[in-house]
Amino acid sequence: MTNLSITINGIEFRNPILVASGIAGYGTEWDGLCDFEKLGGVVLKGVSREPWAGNAPPRLAETPSGMLNAIGLENVGLDAFLDEKLPALEGLDTVIVANVVGRTVAEYADVCEALDKHDRPAALEVNVSCPNVESSGIAFGTNINTLTEVVSACRAATGKPLWVKLSPGVSDIAPFAATAVDAGADALTVANTIPAMAIDVESRRPVLGNTYGGLSGPAVFPVALRLVHVTAHAVDVPIIASGGAVGWRDAVAFMLTGASLVQMGTVLFSAPAAPEAAVTGLAEYAERTGFKEVSKLVGALINKG
């Protein structure tokens, strides 16, 4: 029997498959559709200091092999998250990771500080792709200085493992990965949705109410795979892959490339049981190829040349 467990930042995951942020809501919305107790863990929907209303509809659009979303990180805010959402997960036997969003550095830090006092989230994943309202709306994670500021402030606010979820919309992810680690990240999530848009040619209007959205699903998998590969060569902290994984083959590819954990997101909308099937497939692959511990797959890629 293959040992499927993976430990990063002192947290033991029963297997490397997690549900990505924003997909499973606050963890209770998918009751009966996806058994989170069979997975390594669940990353909850992003939470901000105050409630956010999100963007104007339409917020979703289907694309070839993927989808666009411009939800705008609608969420209930910190108070309701602490009072209602986290307590609702009390009996759930899986690792819970909170996802932190903000419009200013202080907002991010305040959320991290409040979550630090709560024993349930095992780790905090910081989504640095939010627009920085103090710097003409440029995403924190696409500028080295603002990335340093936001990660340093979050680091000072929490002793919990800090995962920084990098933005894919940069020309070279390596310096951003190194910057996040220097500022205190314990692990990096690579990456996020890719900035994109769709147009309805009949109405001659953008499909999304927000004009721009984020592309996710199988269409982005090869892009995410390369970003994981580049990041794994740039830094020494654990990597959590996010982008387009639909099954065990993608999970194995991400792990061989250097990811310790693999998040699955968009695929759940069409196949809620896909993460469970990925765990089974991963175990069979490891067994068949002689890996007694699935952790040994991490970075086991045989590079060309």
Ligand X SMILES: Cc1cc2nc3c(=O)[nH]c(=O)nc-3n(C[C@H](O)[C@H](O)[C@H](O)COP(=O)(O)O)c2cc1C
**Active-site residues: which are they?**
130
Distance CA 143, CA 99 (A): 20
Query: Is residue 99 within the footprint of ligand X (CB under 6 A)?
Result: yes
Residue closer to ligand X by CB (options 179, 216) is 216
- Beta bridge partners of residue 264, listed in sequence order: 19
Query: Is residue 69 within the footprint of ligand X (CB under 6 A)?
Result: yes
Q: In terms of Cα–Cα distance, which of 229, 242, 224, 181 is closest to 43?
A: 242
Quick one: which segment of 17-25, 28-36, 195-203, 293-301 binds ligand X (CB under 6 A)? Answer: 17-25
The single residue among 2, 48, 104, 127 that binds ligand X, judged by CB under 6 A, is 127
CA 94 vs. chain centroid, Å, equals 16
Query: Is residue 132 within the footprint of ligand X (CB under 6 A)?
Result: no
The DSSP secondary structure of 241-275, one letter per residue, reads: EESS--SHHHHHHHHHHTEEEEEE-THHHH-TTHH
Residue whose Cβ sits closest to ligand X: 22
Q: In terms of Cα–Cα distance, which of 251, 258, 256, 245 is closest to 282?
A: 251
The DSSP secondary structure of 190-227, one letter per residue, reads: E--PEEEE-EETTTTEESSTTSEEEEESGGGHHHHHHH
Residue closer to ligand X by CB (options 219, 298) is 219
Q: Per this entry, what is the length of the chain?
A: 305
For the record, the structure tokens of 249 come out as: 């083959």
Query: Is residue 48 within the footprint of ligand X (CB under 6 A)?
Result: no
Quick one: which segment of 82-90, 143-151, 178-186, 243-251 binds ligand X (CB under 6 A)? Answer: 243-251
Q: Which pairing describes strands 66-69 and 60-63: parallel, antiparallel, or unpaired?
A: antiparallel
Quick one: which segment of 25-33, 65-73, 155-163, 230-238 binds ligand X (CB under 6 A)? Answer: 65-73
Residue closer to ligand X by CB (options 46, 121) is 46
What is the torsional sign of CA 298, 300, 304, 305?
A: positive
Quick one: which segment of 68-76, 87-95, 139-147, 291-299 binds ligand X (CB under 6 A)? Answer: 68-76
Distance CA 210, CA 205 (A): 11
Binding mask of the shown chain, residues 196 to 225, with x at each position contacting ligand X by CB under 6 A: --------------------xx--x-----
Q: Smallest distance, Å, CB 196 to ligand X?
A: 12
Q: Smallest distance, Å, CB 265 to ligand X?
A: 3
Q: Smallest distance, Å, CB 104 to ligand X?
A: 17
Which residues in this chain contact ligand X in the complex, by CB under 6 A? Answer: 20-22, 45-46, 69, 71, 73, 99, 127, 165, 192-193, 216-217, 220, 242-245, 264-266
